[in-house]
Chains A and B, each alone.
Chain A
Amino acid sequence: MGNEEAVFFSRVLTEMTLSFHIIYATIGVGIPLMIMMAQWVGIKKHDEHYILLARRWTRGYVITVAVGVVTGTAIGLQLSLLWPNFMELAGNVIALPLFMETFAFFFEAIFLGIYLYTWDRFENQKKHLLLLIPVALGASFSAIFITIVNAFMNAPQGFDIIDGHLVNIKPLLAMFNPAMPTKVAHVLVSAYMTSAFVLASIAAFRLLKGSNHIYHKKALFFTMKVGLIFTIATVIIGDFSGKYLAEYQPEKLAAAEWHFESEGKAPLILYGILEDGEVKYAFKIPFALSILAHGNPNSEVIGLNDFQKDETPPLYIHYLFDAMITIGMLMLVLSITYIVGLWKKWTYVRSKWYRLLIVIGGPLSILAIEAGWWLDEVGRQPWVLRGILKTKDAATSSGQVDTMLLLFAGLYIILGIGSNIVLSRMFRKNTIEQELADRELEEAGELY
């Protein structure tokens, strides 16, 4: 296998692993927070339904977390296996957050084990809830530390290269790079948002399937409310991300926006196609790109003409950008109309078609996460470490990457199908009606 092939297959394998892992990782970051809030509300209001929400979500969460652990281990090792040159360099400068991530993960794993196997072990439910805090914190901090590494790849700093040697290394400066604040915030809130909508999607699905139980309605209201809050946060932080890009990675923004010439009063181009370098059938919002980039409708936005051709990312990332923000806006509208509709007692909120939209919203949110990460990774090309190391120079020289690609594809197919079967079986067999009846029997049994 030539080096070009090794690079190609390494990219495909990394992309596949990350695309698969990010589903479970995103859910793994967001769901503990949802469980925590539901259990808290349940304890506060003495509402058995919210406690049950927490319990049932936990059961599902354990399964996604297990798959996340497995795929996370895979990507952790694959970084060294597929990109040894990158990791050698990165190890010198950005090893600190990677190392801290394992601690966060350690913390999460320990308390998840404890939380999971201590339901009903405490007289005081609040004590049990306390055990969940380190789980949620560990999950979120894992995301923070890993995203810091990714931010570093986009805006490397904290070292100098003199005669091919790394010198003056400052680990903290490398961690707190310019890309870090927006990226970390964006990853966190979008994970919370996605998790809320995935759970809302499940509740809506049950209601659509004919259950009219108050439990599902409470679940839907709760998750849509939380989803709305985090969607608003995601939109605001998304705007900051645009400003970060304009300042530090203008070529990524320009490629995502099909912004070819540097100019002021730049319009935002949505959708459309490229024909011989001409943008056609696109939807243009005047001044919007200048506002997104600098907060000023007149300011100049750097276009692709200011960069060398071999140092700009592929133009198809425009569609990834479109997909991400379109879904984000849809979810914003959906959650606002839900909350307002419920408040005003409008009937469409209970209609089948509206619930169907909420059901679709869950998978769509995950798709937005995928599009966002592809945009981030492909948008950084041809660099693996922007301005320092090109992707083609970072890959392994091993000749067996293609075989490994097949092996892992098989693994992810099995894990994906398996987790879906197990999760749907688990909740279909034990419906909420069934579980509530069982619990009543159990409690009655304890009385005698």
Chain B
Amino acid sequence: MTLEVIGISVLWLFLFGYIIVASIDFGAGFFNAYSLYRGKQHILTKIIQRYLSPVWEVTNVFLVFFFVGIVGFFPKTAYYYGTTLLVPVSIAIILLAIRGSYYAFTTYGGLKHKIYVFLYGVSGLFIPASLSIVITISEGGFVNMEQSGPILDYFKLFTSPLSWSIVVLSLTAVLYISAVFLTWYADHANDMDATELMRKYALIWAGPCILTAAGIIVEMHGHNYEHFTRLIQLWWLFAISLVLFIGTVILLWKRHRYGLAFGLLTGQFALAFFAYGISHYPYLLYTYLTIYDSFTNEAMATALIIAFIAGLALLIPSLILLLRLFLFNKEYVQGKQSNHP
């Protein structure tokens, strides 16, 4: 394995981590706002406070890790993506700020108002939409090289069926991942009402999620044929992913072993995400940038990998501790312990 491949694999793994934990966070906010609107707020608010409040900052670090890491391993991405993504990423930052301030002001600060719940919920849908643009752009065809540097063609981006399919996929995936996780968490907390509600949402969003995912592959045929053929070569990974998806839905349907259902879902997304990533290889930005021509020097790459291993040695035990306290500790999850300062 070359240093380039190790670098991109590490980053892709953390991006996957971000997609899962952030989807849970984003979707929960949306469901919370929706149920407030439907007058069922109390069902979800508690769960959101119990699980999301202690971990949202950690979720955010996954994203920071990814973008700092990609500039470290592949410095040329700073030039290409930095120049073109000013507007979409700035919007994403603002939306992330809205979420952060919801935790700061409402959960910790006790400022209660419906408008915050609404903003918190809606931001959860717009963040994946705005961040998913990065994936779309990486497919090529949206960036023109001009004298002054790379320029993003907004008209093409907003009129492309591919970019809208990716936006829709990001939304359905967020809602589906989140609903499945919250079903399990609510069940874990012995909260029957919340479990039933979230199970219903999970089943509702399962279909749209898998349909839009399949739709992307079809879109790719027209947009980037080279990538399409590479996707098709990896059909077996997508097939296993589909089997795991069916497994999740069956478990949910039968109200059976929600923990396993969430495990299968993680597997489903991991396979699809890595299959997509492998098929994207070696390009970071179609035709302009590959992982090889954008790679940093060997000395820096080695230093980063050593730092990464040392960092993981610190991080993994800490993450396990965090999960044990807030995810696997029954007393805490069921709300029998309240230890807020």
Report yes or no: A3 in contact with B60, Cβ–Cβ below 8 A: no
Report yes or no: B54 in contact with A102, Cβ–Cβ below 8 A: no
Report yes or no: A98 in contact with B315, Cβ–Cβ below 8 A: no
Which residues of A62-76 are within 8 A (CB) of B?
62-63, 65-67, 69-74, 76
Chain B residue contacts of A99, Cβ below 8 A? 68-69, 72, 304, 307-308
**Is B262 in the interface zone, CB < 8 Å from A?**
no
Report yes or no: A96 in contact with B89, Cβ–Cβ below 8 A: no
Report yes or no: B304 in contact with A95, Cβ–Cβ below 8 A: yes
CB within 8 Å for A422 and B75 given contacts A69-B57, A84-B83: no
Please classify the interface of chain B as helix (H, G, I), strand (E, B), loop, or mixed, using the class held by over half of its residues: helix
Chain A residue contacts of B94, Cβ below 8 A? 407-408, 411
Chain B residue contacts of A88, Cβ below 8 A? 75-76, 78-79
Which residues of B63-84 are within 8 A (CB) of A?
63-65, 67-69, 71-76, 78-84
- Bound-state Cα–Cα, A82 to B57, Å: 25
Report yes or no: B149 in contact with A69, Cβ–Cβ below 8 A: no
Q: Which residue of B lies closest to A98 (CB)?
A: B68
Please encode chain B, from 49 to 65, with 1 for each CB lying within 8 Å of some chain A CB and 0 for all others.
00001110110110111
Rounded to whole Å, the gap between the CB of B116 and the closest CB of chain A is 10
Which residues of A139-177 are within 8 A (CB) of B?
166, 169-172
CB within 8 Å for A76 and B67 given contacts A88-B76, A106-B315: yes
Which residues of A59-109 are within 8 A (CB) of B?
59, 62-63, 65-67, 69-74, 76-78, 80-85, 87-93, 95-96, 98-103, 105-107, 109
Chain A residue contacts of B148, Cβ below 8 A? 3, 397
Report yes or no: A169 in contact with B54, Cβ–Cβ below 8 A: no
Q: Identify which of B65, B72, B311 gathers the most chain A CB atoms within 10 Å of its CB.
A: B72
Q: Which of B61, B69, B90 contacts A105 (CB 8 A)?
A: B61
Q: Which residue of A lies closest to B149 (CB)?
A: A397
Q: Which residue of B lies closest to A120 (CB)?
A: B339
Report yes or no: A67 in contact with B100, Cβ–Cβ below 8 A: yes
Chain B residue contacts of A59, Cβ below 8 A? 108, 341
Binds B, one of A222-230, A260-268, A413-421: A413-421
Rounded to whole Å, the gap between the CB of B309 and the closest CB of chain A is 11
Please encode chain B, from 190 to 228, with 1 for each CB lying within 8 Å of some chain A CB and 0 for all others.
000000000000000000000000000000000000000
Report yes or no: A95 in contact with B339, Cβ–Cβ below 8 A: no
Which residues of B99-158 are within 8 A (CB) of A?
100-101, 103-105, 108-111, 148-149
CB within 8 Å for A119 and B339 given contacts A63-B105, A81-B82, A411-B97: yes
Q: Which of A69, A78, A85 contacts B60 (CB 8 A)?
A: A69
Q: Which residue of B lies closest to A59 (CB)?
A: B341
- Bound-state Cα–Cα, A105 to B58, Å: 9
Q: Which residue of B lies closest to A89 (CB)?
A: B75
Chain A residue contacts of B332, Cβ below 8 A? 117
CB within 8 Å for A113 and B58 given contacts A88-B78, A119-B340, A426-B110: yes
**Is A134 in the interface zone, CB < 8 Å from B?**
yes
Report yes or no: A77 in contact with B89, Cβ–Cβ below 8 A: yes
How many residue-residue contacts, CB under 8 A, span A and B?
235
Report yes or no: B105 in contact with A398, Cβ–Cβ below 8 A: no
**Is A127 in the interface zone, CB < 8 Å from B?**
no
Rounded to whole Å, the gap between the CB of B75 and the closest CB of chain A is 3
Report yes or no: A66 in contact with B108, Cβ–Cβ below 8 A: yes
- Bound-state Cα–Cα, A422 to B325, Å: 28
**Is B296 in the interface zone, CB < 8 Å from A?**
yes
Report yes or no: A169 in contact with B108, Cβ–Cβ below 8 A: no
Report yes or no: A171 in contact with B101, Cβ–Cβ below 8 A: no
Q: Which of B53, B105, B311 contacts A103 (CB 8 A)?
A: B311
Chain B residue contacts of A329, Cβ below 8 A? none
Please encode chain B, from 304 to 332, with 1 for each CB lying within 8 Å of some chain A CB and 0 for all others.
10011001001100110110011000001
Q: Identify which of A87, A99, A111, A404 gathers the most chain B CB atoms within 10 Å of its CB.
A: A99
Report yes or no: B71 in contact with A110, Cβ–Cβ below 8 A: no
- Bound-state Cα–Cα, A426 to B67, Å: 35
B residues with CB within 8 A of A: 53-55, 57-58, 60-61, 63-65, 67-69, 71-76, 78-87, 89-91, 93-94, 96-97, 100-101, 103-105, 108-111, 148-149, 296-297, 299-300, 303-304, 307-308, 311, 314-315, 318-319, 321-322, 325-326, 332, 337, 339-341
Q: Which 4 A-B pairs have the closest CB atoms?
A: A91-B75, A95-B72, A84-B82, A66-B104
With A66-B100, A99-B307, A117-B326 already in contact, 19 other A-B pairs whose C-beta atoms are closer than 8 Å: A58-B341, A67-B100, A69-B57, A69-B100, A70-B97, A73-B63, A84-B78, A88-B76, A88-B78, A95-B73, A96-B303, A113-B55, A396-B149, A397-B149, A400-B87, A404-B87, A418-B104, A419-B105, A426-B110
20 A-B contacts, Cβ less than 8 Å apart? Answer: A70-B97, A71-B97, A95-B68, A95-B71, A95-B73, A96-B300, A100-B311, A103-B307, A103-B315, A106-B58, A106-B61, A107-B315, A109-B57, A169-B297, A171-B303, A396-B86, A398-B83, A400-B87, A407-B90, A415-B101
